[in-house]
């Protein structure tokens, strides 16, 4: 698609999306029916790379703990990470906290209606900024999340080509060219709803799509081809080793540094410079039994991680007043703690206690 869509196509496209959204789109999501920029922003951050049904319970729990932007900004980041635990992509939670503090401290606790003003805040990119403007302020702005991008690529036959930057510019130009003058909220919601429920990645239901008569992919049978996926390189392999020290009632955890993929979370200690026995002694315990557990394998966006786990059943001979980074966590508190997903699964597995 080299040229901007003709006016008649633009008007027909938008009217079809709006009519479909009003009749068959989603209307009962908990972040709809509100102009509260805080709630809209929170939902948009949670929905990044995460399914709606996964997000909904987290959204409710998060708002119960932090009902306002000010409450979120005032909370310690550890509390924010606890409420985010299990949702993954923890940089989102850290940026969420930083963004709340920036808005409260530098902007009198108010998001701007201008997407360009919000796009520079921590964790807010161009599409998220547009969503805040559209749904909180009724501002005319283009949203281009993964669902919207898929609808546009198929409908207008946009090939990725060799340049990812050129493809991104072309998609943004198309998204902005198609914006209607009115009813922007219904249009924006309709585009996201279509991508999520009809124009799905693997099994699009073209017969139910209001755009099927305009769609290049539907007309030419190219649904499986579009949008073209970027060529992925083989993920590099990384390895680490951790200690699982437990007395059957508690487990020793380490608060990780604030940077990194699991920054700020609690995790099992990685001990590389001393023996397990020496480390245990420093933590006020004596190893009774040890066993090597099955390795944990976890896939990140940019690498695969294999974690070797040495379980040590210990007897506490005296809790040591050590660094704040170490914590003996009761096993019954594991489910609610801010732990990386693979570590939580390990600690919740049968046979840890006793």
| Predicted local confidence at residue 259, as pLDDT | 84
- Residue 294 Cα distances to 30, 245, 266, angstroms: 40, 16, 21
| Predicted local confidence at residue 231, as pLDDT | 76
- Mean pLDDT is lowest, of 116-125, 212-221, 251-260, for 251-260
- Residue 77 Cα distances to 106, 260, 297, 343, angstroms: 19, 15, 27, 20
Q: Is the pLDDT of residue 321 over 70?
A: no
DSSP annotation of 251: E
Q: Is the pLDDT of residue 89 over 50?
A: yes
| 44 has catalytic annotation | yes
Q: Percent helix, strand and coil across the chain, each rounded to 5? A: 45, 15, 40
Percent of the chain with pLDDT over 90: 83
At residue 256 the predicted structure's pLDDT band, cuts being 50, 70 and 90, is very high
C-alpha span between 181 and 71 (Å, rounded): 36
C-alpha span between 55 and 320 (Å, rounded): 39
At residue 6 the predicted structure's pLDDT band, cuts being 50, 70 and 90, is low
C-alpha span between 95 and 128 (Å, rounded): 13
| Predicted local confidence at residue 133, as pLDDT | 98
Q: Is the pLDDT of residue 2 over 50?
A: no
| Predicted local confidence at residue 271, as pLDDT | 82
- Residue 15 Cα distances to 136, 143, 144, 199, 216, angstroms: 22, 17, 18, 17, 18
Arithmetic mean of pLDDT over the chain: 93
Q: Is the pLDDT of residue 322 over 60?
A: no
The domains of the chain are located at 7-220, 237-348
C-alpha span between 298 and 309 (Å, rounded): 13
Find, among 97, 70, 67, the residue nearest to 81 by Cα. 97
Q: Is the pLDDT of residue 169 over 80?
A: yes
CATH tag, 237-348: 3.90.79.10
Q: Is the pLDDT of residue 354 over 60?
A: no
208-215 LR contacts (CB < 8 Å, sep 24+): 208/24, 210/16, 210/17, 210/19, 210/20, 211/13, 211/16, 211/17, 211/151, 211/155, 214/9, 214/12, 214/13, 214/16, 214/155, 215/154, 215/155
Q: Is the pLDDT of residue 244 over 90?
A: yes
pLDDT, tens digit, for every residue of 29-62? 999 989 999 999 999 999 999 999 999 999 999 9
| Predicted local confidence at residue 323, as pLDDT | 65
- Residue 116 Cα distances to 81, 127, 140, angstroms: 28, 10, 12
At residue 1 the predicted structure's pLDDT band, cuts being 50, 70 and 90, is very low
Average pLDDT over residues 78-104: 95
C-alpha span between 229 and 233 (Å, rounded): 12
Q: Is the pLDDT of residue 151 over 50?
A: yes
- Mean pLDDT is lowest, of 51-65, 114-128, 194-208, 225-239, for 225-239
Q: Is the pLDDT of residue 292 over 90?
A: yes
Q: Is the pLDDT of residue 179 over 70?
A: yes
Find, among 278, 257, 272, the residue nearest to 323 by Cα. 257
Of the chain, the end-to-end C-alpha distance in Å amounts to 64
Which among 4, 44, 82, 315 is annotated as catalytic? 44
Sign for the CA dihedral angle at 26, 28, 29, 33 comes to positive
Task: Please tell me the CATH superfamily of domain 7-220, with its number.
Answer: Hypothetical protein; domain 2 (1.10.340.30)
């Amino acid at each position: 698609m080299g040229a901007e869509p003709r006016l008649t196509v633009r008007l027909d496209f938008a009217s079809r999306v709006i009519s479909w959204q009003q009749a068959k789109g989603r209307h009962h999501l908990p972040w709809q029916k509100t102009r509260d920029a805080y709630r809209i922003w929170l939902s948009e951050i949670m929905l990044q790379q995460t399914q709606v049904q996964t997000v909904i319970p987290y959204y409710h729990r998060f708002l119960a703990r932090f009902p306002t932007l000010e409450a979120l900004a005032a909370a310690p980041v550890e509390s924010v990470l606890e409420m985010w635990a299990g949702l993954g992509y923890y940089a989102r939670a850290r940026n969420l906290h930083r963004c709340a503090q920036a808005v409260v401290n530098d902007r009198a606790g108010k998001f701007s209606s201008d997407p360009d003003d919000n796009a520079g805040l921590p964790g807010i990119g161009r599409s998220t900024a547009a969503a805040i403007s559209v749904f909180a302020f009724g501002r005319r702005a283009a949203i281009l999340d993964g669902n919207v991008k898929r609808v546009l690529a198929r409908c207008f036959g946009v090939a990725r080509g060799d340049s990812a930057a050129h493809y991104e510019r072309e998609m943004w130009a198309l998204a902005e060219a198609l914006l209607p003058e009115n009813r922007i909220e219904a249009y924006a919601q309709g585009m996201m709803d279509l991508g999520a429920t009809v124009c799905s990645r693997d099994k699009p239901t073209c017969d139910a799509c209001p755009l099927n008569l305009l769609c290049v992919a539907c007309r030419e049978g190219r649904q499986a081809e579009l949008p073209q996926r970027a060529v992925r390189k083989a993920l590099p392999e990384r390895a680490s080793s951790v200690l699982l020290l437990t007395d059957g009632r508690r487990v020793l955890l380490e608060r990780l540094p604030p940077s990194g993929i699991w920054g700020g979370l609690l995790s099992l200690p990685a001990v590389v410079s001393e023996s397990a026995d020496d480390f245990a002694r420093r933590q006020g315990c004596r190893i009774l039994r040890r066993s090597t557990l099955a390795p944990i394998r976890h896939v990140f966006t940019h690498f695969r991680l294999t974690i070797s786990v040495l379980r040590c059943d210990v007897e506490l001979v005296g809790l040591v007043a050590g660094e704040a980074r170490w914590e003996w966590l009761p096993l019954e508190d594991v489910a609610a703690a801010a732990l990386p997903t693979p570590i939580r699964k390990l600690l919740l597995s049968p046979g840890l206690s006793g």
